[in-house]
Homo-oligomer: A and B are copies of this chain.
Amino acid sequence: MRQSQLFTNTVKELPKDETSYNAQALIRAGFVDKVAAGVYSYLPLGKRVLDKICNIIREEINNIGGQEILMTALVPKENWQTSGRWDNFDVLFRLSGSDQKEYALGATHEEVVAPLVQKFIFSYKDLPFSVYQIQTKFRNEKRAKAGLLRGREFLMKDLYSFHTDQADLDNYYEKVIVAYQRIYQRLGLGKFTYLTYASGGSFSRYSHEFQTVAAAGEDLIYVCDKCQVAINKEIIIEQNVCPLCNNPDLTEKKAIEVGNIFKLGTKFTEPFGVKYKNSAGASEPAVMGCFGIGPSRILGTLVEINHDNQGIIWPESVAPFKVHLLSLNEPEAADKIYKELVEKGIEVLYDDRELMAGEKFANADLIGCPYRVLVSRKTLASNSAEVKKRTEDSSELVLLSKLANKLI
């Protein structure tokens, strides 16, 4: 894309109430716009990153059999009453319609998915299956000061699975753990992200979260370096050793919760009557799991852990563009290079604007594409362009004839 056509630009004046690094950097670089505390619009660069995050999640969830659906944000009061959460779920945004019907905006979707699947489950032969959506959630948070890490309106991938029994859920739960680990790996979060043991509720000794170590994290975790797992604060109070190897030497770290998996058992299938006939013909409630990852929180997390004083450093898998091509008063040569790279299928943001070199460099570092390619009188003198990785200080001259192959 030609940057002269991109409607966004560097934002110099940040909203006064914006104190989080991730939101400040994303606003400054033109990825998001703040509409209210915890409420952000995604601009063209931000939308591209968000789409790539969502597609990685989608591919891995499809691989473990998830069927994609799209549920509603308006969730009738009756549904929340059936589960018993209307009166005590304190982050619900409540509202009423012109027909006096009351709703809460979906903060999570057990209350929609359970009555939905109830219509399609009859026999044990209909199980197991899992459905998911990537959809906007609303939570009336008291505090929304962490930028994209804790929004009042945010994007969530929520997967719900349905099984005949606990053993089958346990088996699927392990598959989801592996899928999540692949997702974090592909998002460039793998080495910072720990499977973290949390309190289990009534269905299992532990539940699990995925936590990414980051200075901006709101949670504390306790990492076992031997097993590469962690326990959360609740668990450290109950036991002060690694749940796998009993190692007492755990390191406290700040972390961001980037995923959340639960064995719900029959907590929602009982009240919503999600029952099936077992092989003996008897009616039993289905056993349910739920599994969340927030793509917009992932976006914020990536910025928190991948940046320097100049700006954002995107992993290649989710960068808005792979290449940021800067022309210093060489429009003809740069146009030609731009066309060639795009024809080869490389994603290029092309800074074709009439700006000073320093401003272009600063903007490229702020936006943070993995490769910066500079075309100037000096580089063209040797039929070359200067290629610099965002993660490295040094650059190299690459012959124009070899540029596309270098960047593919």
Contact = CB atoms under 8 A, between A and B. Distances in A.
Interface of A: 5-9, 11, 30, 33, 35-37, 39-44, 47, 50, 65, 67-76, 93-95, 97-99, 101, 103, 105, 112, 116-117, 119-120, 126, 129, 131, 136, 138, 140-142, 152-153
Contact of A153 (B41, B73, B126): B73
A116 B5 contact: no
A359 B260 CA distance: 41
A11 B153 contact: no
Contacts of A152: 74, 97
Nearest to A76: B36
Nearest to A40: B72
A116 B74 CA distance: 26
B73 A136 contact: yes
Contacts of A67: 5-7, 44
Given A42-B69, A50-B70, A70-B50, A126 B35 contact: no
B97 A95 contact: no
A142 B98 contact: yes
A119 B35 contact: no
A47 B35 contact: no
A269 to B, nearest CB: 14
A219 B94 CA distance: 33
Given A7-B120, A138-B74, A35 B112 contact: yes
Nearest to A141: B98
A119 B42 contact: no
A97 B401 CA distance: 58
A103 B72 contact: no
Contacts of A99: 37, 142
Given A41-B112, A65-B5, A136-B136, A74 B131 contact: no
Given A33-B116, A112-B35, A93 B95 contact: yes
A159 to B, nearest CB: 13
Contact of A98 (B112, B136, B140): B140
B7 A126 contact: yes
Nearest to A142: B98
Contacts of A95: 93-95, 105
Interface centre among A44, A68, A119, A131 (most CB of B within 10 A): A119
Given A30-B120, A33-B119, A36-B101, 10 more contacts: A7-B67, A36-B72, A36-B76, A41-B72, A41-B112, A44-B68, A74-B138, A74-B152, A98-B141, A99-B142
